[in-house]
């Protein structure tokens, strides 16, 4: 059987108390998790973070935490799956995807994630807190082509293009009620996300240059397999592409439809999501039903992961 495996790296919003339980089954992954500087970077012991939902979803903690979850899971599962042909990451997951591809050391990636969170956090002024919201227009009188003026009238911008009729938008919290009322009145649906920062919108523009400089200064190497760019879906093979793409996505929308289509164009037959969530696997399965998609978060054991992978590959 032809093995064409893709790795998907989760974004924020799926954190939970048991997000490292399966990873701890693997001795190497567990040892690395204990060695990584999470307490130093997050300001709290991991056990305390996992028992406090407020800490779990605090942006300065959530970003390095999610990256650590992805990379620890990768250590645990890379022995039981075929070598991937491509990797893609959603928001903060895109940074982790370069490490999965072998271009960045895990600890350096986690430190970059913490810096990324700090730079984004600095874009928020005390008098203008921010909010991310998922918006579905499937039943709405507002068409996707007309959504931008509605969002901008309320201080919001498209942050992630999820599908033809759904987006994630980021903007100012004090205008969120009015935007939600306008979308709901037109028949759309709004879900507020537990993310306190308007990532991938112009509100984050001042973070772009310093983060690009940090990635340029890192010890990044050529990836072992292509990484898909979140802002375009393009396949990246060159280490020099990492800095501009990872920095631009801080203030530009993620085009997740294009990423999913890029996976399909790469001939992917199986996609495995790493991290605390399962949203990426579900979205890809909906858009390209012929691709076998699962999230590691759906399994109760590594043995279960191995059994599922064996059904569709030669491993």
Which residues make up the CATH 3.30.70.250 domain(s) of the chain?
130-195
Closest-CA residue to 94 (of 242, 207, 194, 239): 242
pLDDT of residue 314: 64
Q: At what angle do helices 59-77 and 27-35 cross, to 10 degrees?
A: 150
Percentage with pLDDT > 70 across the chain: 99
What percent of the chain clears pLDDT 90, i.e. is strictly above it? 92
Q: Is the pLDDT of residue 161 over 90?
A: yes
> Two tokens at 216?
């340029």
CATH number for 5-123+203-312: choose from 3.30.1440.10, 3.40.366.10, 3.40.50.150, 3.40.50.300: 3.40.366.10
Across the chain, which distance is largest between two alpha carbons, in Å? 57
- Reported as a single tens digit per residue, the pLDDT across 4-37 is 999 999 999 899 999 999 999 999 999 999 999 9
Q: Does residue 177 carry a pLDDT above 90?
A: yes
Residue 1 clears pLDDT 50, i.e. is over it: no
For the domain 130-195, what is the CATH code? 3.30.70.250
Do 294 and 281 form a contact (C-beta atoms < 8 A)?
A: yes
**CATH code 3.40.366.10 region(s) in the chain:** 5-123+203-312
Residue 204 DSSP SS3: helix
Which stretches within 78-137 are classed as H helix? 92-100, 106-121
pLDDT tens figures, 212-235: 999 999 999 999 999 999 999 999
Give the model's pLDDT for residue 13. Answer: 86
Judged by DSSP in three states, 60 sits in helix
The pLDDT value given to residue 312: 78
pLDDT (tens digit per residue) in 275-295? 998 999 999 999 999 999 999
* pLDDT tens digits for range 70-124: 999 999 999 999 999 999 999 999 999 999 999 999 999 999 999 999 999 999 9
């Amino acid at each position: 059987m032809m093995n064409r495996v893709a790795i998907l790296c989760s974004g924020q919003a799926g954190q939970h108390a048991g997000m490292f339980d399966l990873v701890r089954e693997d001795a190497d992954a567990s040892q690395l998790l204990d060695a990584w500087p999470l307490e130093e970077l997050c300001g709290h012991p991991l056990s305390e973070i996992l028992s406090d939902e407020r800490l779990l979803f605090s942006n300065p903690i959530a970003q390095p935490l999610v990256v650590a979850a992805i990379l620890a899971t990768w250590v645990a599962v890379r022995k039981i799956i075929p070598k991937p042909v491509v990797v893609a990451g959603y928001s903060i997951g895109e940074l982790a995807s370069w490490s999965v591809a072998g271009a960045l050391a895990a600890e350096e990636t986690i430190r970059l994630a913490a810096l990324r969170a700090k730079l984004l956090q600095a874009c928020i002024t005390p008098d203008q807190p921010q909010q991310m919201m998922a918006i579905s227009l499937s039943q709405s009188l507002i068409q996707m082509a007309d959504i931008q003026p509605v969002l901008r009238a309320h201080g919001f911008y498209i942050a992630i293009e999820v599908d033809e009729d759904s987006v994630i938008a980021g903007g100012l919290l004090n205008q969120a009620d009015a935007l939600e009322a306008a979308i709901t009145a037109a028949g759309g649906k709004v879900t507020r996300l537990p993310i306190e920062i308007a990532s991938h919108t112009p509100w984050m523009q001042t973070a772009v240059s310093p983060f690009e400089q940090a990635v340029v200064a890192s010890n990044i190497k050529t990836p072992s397999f292509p990484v898909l760019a979140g802002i375009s879906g393009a396949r990246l093979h060159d280490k020099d592409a990492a800095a501009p793409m990872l920095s631009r996505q801080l203030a530009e929308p993620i085009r997740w439809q294009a990423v999913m289509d890029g996976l399909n164009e790469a001939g992917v037959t199986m996609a495995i999501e790493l991290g605390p969530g399962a949203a990426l696997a579900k979205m890809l399965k909906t858009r390209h039903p012929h691709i076998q998609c699962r999230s590691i978060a759906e399994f109760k054991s590594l043995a279960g992961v191995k059994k599922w992978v064996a059904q569709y590959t030669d491993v």
